[in-house]
Amino acid sequence: MIATATFLATLAQNAGGRGDGIDIGSILGYILVGAVVGVLARFLVPGRDEMGIIATIALGIIGAVIGGWLAGAVFEDTAGVDWIASILVAVGLVLLARAVRTRA
């Protein structure tokens, strides 16, 4: 969890060279958005999945951070695009987690 917080802080400080900082509201926002994105990604991937709610939220947070960063890197105005990118990245992470689990 500390590594995730450190990653979020580094990502926010380096966001587009704007020097924007990160605060507790941003972290809570990522957690909330991550929960929504993770649940949506799980619903979009067909089939039974053994992933719990904590793993779903963690996967959604990672998807939201990476998807939001990618949307910001590609588009100047990310209104709505960051949600789509976050969900697509989270779907990819669900599929990756499922592939890794079936190999083990």
Residue with tokens 């929960």: 35
Confidence of residue 25 (pLDDT cuts 50, 70, 90): confident
Q: What is the pLDDT of residue 92?
A: 93
Residue with tokens 């939001």: 68
Answer whether residue 1 shows pLDDT above 50: no
pTM over 0.85: no
Q: Are 45 and 91 in contact (CB under 8 A)?
A: yes
Q: Kindly write down the DSSP assignment for every residue of 25-44, as one continuous string.
A: HHHHHHHHHHHHHHHHHHHH
> Residue 11 is inside which H or E element, if any?
helix 2-13
Domain boundaries, the chain: 24-103
Residue with tokens 């779903």: 56
Best CA proximity match to 68, nearest among 45, 48, 49, 84: 84
Answer whether residue 14 shows pLDDT above 80: no
Q: What is the pLDDT of residue 24?
A: 84
